[in-house]
Chains A and B, each alone.
Chain A
Amino acid sequence: QSVLTQPPSVSGAPGQRVTISCTGDSSNIGARYDVHWYQQVPGTAPKLLIYNDNRRPSGVPDRFSGSKSGTSASLAITGLQAEDEADYYCQTYDRSLNDHLFGTGTTVTVL
């Protein structure tokens, strides 16, 4: 049911940079609602990673960064580390559905 589309998977070698896209439309990201990102290590609850498009909660390494433009948002991980292997979800609000939406999710694999 999600209208926030993410690539199913991305991968990279340790130390590399990977990006995850989150594509919405004019009712959500394009309506300038803030985008938030969550990291979910398998078997655990999601954890807030980025909020308000590009802000990091205390304790989140600055290797993680977020951006937004038009109807899309992106999460970048630089200096990829083995511990970054997880699922990542974007999230925002949709004014047409009056719902909070999650992206379809992206699995990051460190080669």
Chain B
Amino acid sequence: QVQLVQSGAEVRIPGASVEVSCRASGYSFTEYVIHWVRQAPGQGLEWIGWVNPPSGTTLYTQRFQGRVTMTRDTTTTTAFMELNSLTSDETAIYYCVRENGHTGIFDYWGQGTLVSVSS
């Protein structure tokens, strides 16, 4: 069965960086785009960007450009998201999500990784 298993919770101070990983299994990793979405406590869902596993091509929403880097390792079927210059209001759960084909449908979600940013 399709699974996206994310790395564990992280704690960072403001200004630091964090990398979250997402290991995919149960399907052909290079055939589906991986997106990253975050959710601050008590808030809604915010789309961050995507990485296309076969090529490594990425696209980020404008507000994160210059601060986020999405990569992938096809040998370990793992996607990564690094976010730099963290601020305290970026405490959130970060999800990796599989897009079904190129349809915009987010059909499988990771369990989420809590990133806490506090001094």
Interface residues, chain A, with chain B CB atoms under 8 Å away: 1-2, 33-34, 36, 38, 45-48, 51-52, 57, 89, 91-93, 97-105
Contacts and interface: CB of A to CB of B under 8 A. Distances in A.
A108 to B, nearest CB: 15
B109 A101 contact: no
B111 A2 contact: no
Given A1-B63, A45-B95, A45-B110, A105 B105 contact: no
A89 B45 contact: yes
A2 B44 contact: yes
A46 B104 CA distance: 15
Contacts of A46: 45, 95, 106, 109
B105 A52 contact: yes
Chief secondary structure at chain B's binding surface: strand
Contacts of B61: 97, 99
B28 interface: no
Interface residues of B, number: 21
A86 to B, nearest CB: 13
A47 B109 contact: yes
B109 A45 contact: yes
B44 A100 contact: no
A45 B106 CA distance: 12
Contact of A92 (B100, B104, B111): B104
6 contacts: A45-B95, A48-B105, A51-B103, A51-B105, A97-B62, A105-B44
Given A34-B104, A46-B95, A48-B105, 14 more contacts: A34-B103, A36-B104, A38-B45, A45-B111, A47-B109, A51-B100, A91-B45, A91-B104, A92-B104, A97-B62, A99-B62, A100-B35, A102-B46, A103-B44
